[in-house]
Structure 1
Amino acid sequence: MIETRDPAGQDRGSIAPWLQGRRGCRGRAALAIGIALLAAPATAADPPSWTQPTAPFHLIGPVDYVGTEGLAAYLIHTSAGAILIDGTMAENAAAIERSVAARGVQMRDVKVLLLSHAHFDHAGGLAALKRASGAQLVAGAADRAALESGVPPGETSYGVIRFPAVKVDRAIRDGERVRLGGVTLTAVATPGHTPGCTSWSLRLRARGKPVDILFACSVTVAGNKLVGNRRYPAIVTDFRASLARLSGMSADIVLPFHPELADLRARAARDTLVDRAALPMMVRDARAAFDADLAKQRQ
């Protein structure tokens, strides 16, 4: 299959409605749409926000935002170095390095790289970031082959968008933990968007109270073939299992990888990130979109 950046895009199905409605979306609705809503694919190339640098900022506790305007990367400070979640696009690696430095961390002090899933807009920068830091890369076991080949998993409506291959140092499975300097993140397997799509849960204390954070991997279809996907035959079963899994979870804060950044920054500044309704809303919207897409593909 020819490599292409088709207008449908890797995650464009999830981002299109958010881009169209971001000026009018605020608070809970903006967060839920940014994470989960799936509509028709966008009609343009990669959104400019995906490569638009933005000033990094503090979120909560040891967690900072160091991604671009439209693609998230999260930096977690620990007593033994830092953890960086997601690398966004290959073009963004240098900008992420600058943002990490702006938050007081040298790249050599980034000890662990975590990944949400093996698509170019999230994994593309990992190879360069790993070279710059020497960090250990931890990713979902079922995405390992894709990461080490640079070829995304599954079959899609838009072809193949490659990214720089990168060696996985630890292939992680559901429930396994990553620990560094007193911080523990737990892998939550949420396959479907990719076979190894992994959300990460983190419990920390803020103002003397425990706060549960979920760095939520995508649960959108976003161009994936749900019918006749020979490279990922379990895709429908996995999507349904992940939606069921997430519907049974709770989170105080949900942090997306396609953020409604203006809202996220403002909510962090106002200390209003906590929203226990965000995860149920994410699951509800994603399930409705999945069912609609599956019915359409079965026609």
Structure 2
Amino acid sequence: MKLAEDLFLVGSGRMGAHLTHAADCNGYLMIHEDIQILIDTGTGLDFHLWEEQLLWCGTSLKNITHVLLTHVHADHAGGAAKIKEASNALLYAPASAKEILIRGDETAIDLNAARKFGFYPEDYSFPGISPDVSFQDGQEIDIGPYSIKIISTPGHSKHCSSFYIESAEGRKRLFSGDTVFGQGKISMLSTHDFDLQKLKQSIQKLSFMHVDELLPGHNMPVLKNGSSHIEEANMLFQQLGVPENIL
């Protein structure tokens, strides 16, 4: 699904555009000449559907050059090993989650409970993989024409990050992972490392940024006035309320 001249939605599950496996997050692909950057990888289930979406966008798995993970929950990082194997892309992940990713630590990402309650098939497993690059809050990563600012946004999980990027046309993009969504919604989970107060602080941090395109990990992307959706969530928190949950 083409979102902008250089931006495509290539993965999305039941809480989105229903392009790939139901449990998948949104996966976004930015293309500029020979540079192809994938943001999040889905679960790795029904992986042929990702391949079909990439072909529709005029590319293929082997052309992906970089993969960035907003966090390491299975719906966002479970496909990383398959994509790495097919493309040999450089894999970027939060430094705080590096060991979880390497070990394929299912306890650390609450996968056992998620399987038990039907979020994933009973035989689903999270494959370990070693990231090529571990990033930290405030770091800027230059890939081709893109300067990607890393913003640590814990709350949904301890290891969440968002990516702030200016497009070639000068539009400000925020890949927010599971931190904030369109209409000011959030993703609350009863997992061991969900923290509502940290999520509040993360969204307040994001509210100071000018965002045209808000590109969340689920639901539909926002292509205009993204800042207003972030501010909606921020204002609810500031007024002692809690934004609506996407689940």
Q: TM-score, structure 1 length as denominator?
A: 0.64
Q: Distance in 2 between matches of 1:177 and 1:104?
A: 29
CA distance 1:167–1:112, shift in 2 (3 Å): same
How far is the alpha carbon of 1:92 from its aligned partner? 3.8
Q: Distance in 1 between matches of 2:134 and 2:157?
A: 15
Does residue 1:93 correspond to 2:60, yes or no?
Answer: no
Does residue 1:222 correspond to 2:173, yes or no?
Answer: no
Given that residues 78 and 127 in structure 2 are in contact (C-alpha distance below 8 angstroms), is that contact kept between their aligned partners in structure 1? yes
In the alignment, which residue of structure 1 is the partner of 2:155? 192
Does residue 1:289 correspond to 2:233, yes or no?
Answer: no
AA paired with 2:190? Answer: G
Q: Does the residue aligned with 2:53 lie in a helix, a strand or coil?
A: helix
Q: Does the residue aligned with 1:165 lie in a helix, a strand or coil?
A: coil
| Identical residues among aligned pairs (%) | 25
Does residue 1:254 correspond to 2:214, yes or no?
Answer: yes
In the alignment, which residue of structure 2 is the partner of 1:274? 224
Given that residues 93 and 129 in structure 1 are in contact (C-alpha distance below 8 angstroms), is that contact kept between their aligned partners in structure 2? no
Given that residues 68 and 92 in structure 1 are in contact (C-alpha distance below 8 angstroms), is that contact kept between their aligned partners in structure 2? no
| Higher deviation after alignment, 155-164 or 134-143 | 155-164
Number of residues paired by the alignment?
A: 216
In the alignment, which residue of structure 2 is the partner of 1:174? 137
After TM superposition, what 4+ stretches of structure 1 lie above 6 angstroms from structure 2? none
Given that residues 73 and 109 in structure 2 are in contact (C-alpha distance below 8 angstroms), is that contact kept between their aligned partners in structure 1? no
Pick the structure with more helix per residue. 1
In the alignment, which residue of structure 1 is the partner of 2:34? 80
RMSD over aligned CA atoms reads 2.8
Given that residues 89 and 121 in structure 1 are in contact (C-alpha distance below 8 angstroms), is that contact kept between their aligned partners in structure 2? yes
How far is the alpha carbon of 1:172 from its aligned partner? 0.3
How far is the alpha carbon of 1:289 from its aligned partner? 3.1
Structure 1 unaligned spans of 5+ = 1-56, 226-231, 268-272, 293-299
Structure of greater relative contact order (alpha carbons < 8 Å, 6+ residues apart): 1
CA distance 1:255–1:282, shift in 2 (3 Å): farther
In the alignment, which residue of structure 1 is the partner of 2:68? 114
Q: Distance in 1 between matches of 2:141 and 2:70?
A: 14
Structure 2 unaligned spans of 5+ = 17-24, 116-124, 180-186
Does residue 1:63 correspond to 2:7, yes or no?
Answer: yes
CA distance 1:239–1:153, shift in 2 (3 Å): farther
Larger Rg: 1
CA distance 1:256–1:236, shift in 2 (3 Å): closer
In the alignment, which residue of structure 2 is the partner of 1:12? none
How far is the alpha carbon of 1:101 from its aligned partner? 2.3
Q: Distance in 2 between matches of 1:289 and 1:158?
A: 28
Deviations for 1:95-146, whole angstroms, at most 9, x for unmatched residues?
Answer: 2122122212232221100111111111111111110000011011111122
How far is the alpha carbon of 1:59 from its aligned partner? 0.5
Q: Does the residue aligned with 1:216 lie in a helix, a strand or coil?
A: strand
Given that residues 200 and 237 in structure 2 are in contact (C-alpha distance below 8 angstroms), is that contact kept between their aligned partners in structure 1? no
CA distance 1:157–1:167, shift in 2 (3 Å): closer
CA distance 1:178–1:254, shift in 2 (3 Å): same
Q: Distance in 1 between matches of 2:155 and 2:107?
A: 11
